[in-house]
Chain A
């Protein structure tokens, strides 16, 4: 188990990776990526029981699905820095002939990716399927999913949420990146989500909240608590409040950086706020 100061360093390094990836190709989604940096570091470094290397079937290990595929920069950075593929490959993000497509895909065989995502609202269904197969295979490992809050406006999610409770898919933990922002503005302005906790509970899920999803220790503790809630007949939802654009002052608390890359000057300021720790790719 890595110590917390290393993990904090890794968080800062991942933020740099995110910013440098999107800056280089002048496209991509830094806002949500930065907001979920602590979560990804916690999951891949601390929470999940992972095997060495990558096996599509994920047998006898915890597996993870990213439903809101547009935050690929943080996913790629953490996968690379967790040993799935060379860190240098982050240089190829969104370039032609790259395995690091704009949105994650299995098509080019990038280790760590088990399903394509990007068209929103499909990840929970896929996760329910994978969790069901784990049960059929008597594999007692867990399936984790991250989805966006705005993404919950897609109806398929609620089909999956209803199904998971009805079928007692209790080896599944769905974390909602609760940042209150989406492309056109705040979720309240675009299409208010209402009381998500009450909604998940009404659908038969156990709900746990992480008040500050940008506090690494809180995320680790929260996800450990979530693990304790599995295996009790109900799927588990973690409502994780985050700040979009976290760690870069001018990107925080706004939807403006949802899908916009910083220019040269903005990159310099953003990187200065996150000085190199483990080493740039």
Chain B
């Protein structure tokens, strides 16, 4: 088994901030817009470096999406920053018409996604955003797993022409992917090789999947672990190659099982090679207040839940 080391817990949103800072220095067409959450989104450094290219729109997310769409006309590459809830559900029609249908090169960067937002509770803990965004034709949907990957993804999406939804979060989590990684949109990352069960995870659940693979290994079970940072377009080949070895799969995400990664994977499997699948995801519910760890435990979104799901799905082969 490969060994992964946490080089020190960091928040994925800071990875976004670091990536944006780097982009700002090398590409003068990068502009950033924020709806009164500059500190939360870690956009302060970009703002300080490029006050002329940073646009504070106030608490007006619909307008922010429209302005971003308009700013592409003339060649700018807008990065919008607010919480995931306000980046998607609140502004769905603006994104649908002015950005997605109009093929605008806007990067919708969304922090505080999912339950790990924590104490603020369900009003802010969106668990439906991946579904909302992946349903939009032409939208690329990315959910990164740690600081380094979020930074790399932020830089990579600037090179991709077209609308992108980049989802990340608030809590400090293990930082274990390489600092110098090349982020390839739509290309899954194989983390562990195994033959008994496939675990496909995205976002904060990737580290949990690695921990689950360790505990499974102790019981003599070898798990094939894949980091699916891009939910759309989905790396079908990686998934199909893996289940050809293992014959069963667990998908893991900090999102509702309706509309999430799991459903996308199920579609690929159903079309190609129907395979037993277990869904580590929220079960069509809203969240609640609590610490991130408490919430992930209560809603079954941690290494323990993945371990259990793996054993269950193996029994269904």
Contact = CB atoms under 8 A, between A and B. Distances in A.
A118 B97 contact: yes
Given A136-B76, A162-B60, A119 B70 contact: no
B103 A128 contact: no
Contact-residue size bin, chain A (C-beta under 8 Å from the other chain):
35 or more
Nearest to B66: A125
B63 A58 contact: no
Residue of A122, A128, A134 contacting most chain B CB atoms (<10 Å): A122
Given A105-B102, A119-B97, A125-B66, A163 B60 contact: yes
A163 B53 contact: no
A125 B73 CA distance: 13
A167 B57 CA distance: 9
Contact of B74 (A58, A116, A160): A58
Interface string A104-144: 01110000001111110011111111111110110100000
B173 to A, nearest CB: 34
B97 A116 contact: yes
Given A105-B101, A116-B97, A130 B63 contact: no
Residue of B60, B70, B73, B102 contacting most chain A CB atoms (<10 Å): B70
B93 interface: yes
B73 A160 contact: no
Interface string B231-249: 0000000000000000000
Contacts of A219: none
A59 B73 CA distance: 9
Contacts of B31: 136
A207 B22 CA distance: 42
Contacts of A105: 101-102
Residue of B58, B62, B104 contacting most chain A CB atoms (<10 Å): B62
Contacts of A118: 97
Contact of A133 (B65, B66, B71, B98): B71
Interface in B163-189: none
Contact of A128 (B58, B70, B75, B97): B70
Contact of A156 (B58, B62, B71): B62
A115 B106 CA distance: 13
Contacts of B52: 136
Contact of A163 (B63, B65, B93): B63
Contact of B71 (A58, A65, A124, A130): A130
A134 B74 contact: yes
A127 B70 contact: yes
B73 A130 contact: yes
Interface in B65-83: 65-76, 78
B55 interface: yes
A115 B70 contact: yes
Nearest to B91: A156
Contacts of B65: 125
Contact of B63 (A117, A133, A136, A160): A160
B102 A116 contact: yes
A61 to B, nearest CB: 11
B114 to A, nearest CB: 27
A264 interface: no
A159 interface: yes
Residue of B62, B68, B74 contacting most chain A CB atoms (<10 Å): B74
A111 B95 CA distance: 22
Nearest to B63: A159
A99 to B, nearest CB: 14
Nearest to B29: A136
Contact of A107 (B63, B98, B101): B101
A163 B67 contact: yes
B75 A126 contact: no
B57 A133 contact: no
Nearest to A145: B70
Contacts of A98: none
A159 B60 contact: yes
A174 to B, nearest CB: 13
A60 B91 CA distance: 31
A63 interface: yes
Interface of A: 56-59, 63, 65, 105-107, 114-119, 122-134, 136-137, 139, 155-156, 159-160, 162-163, 166-167
Top 3 A-B pairs ranked by shortest CB distance? A129-B70, A125-B66, A133-B74
12 contacts: A106-B102, A115-B69, A119-B93, A125-B94, A128-B66, A128-B70, A130-B73, A132-B71, A133-B75, A137-B74, A156-B66, A160-B63
Interface of B: 31, 52-53, 55, 57-58, 60, 62-63, 65-76, 78, 93-94, 96-98, 101-104
Given A65-B70, A122-B97, A133-B73, 5 more contacts: A115-B73, A122-B62, A126-B69, A129-B72, A130-B71
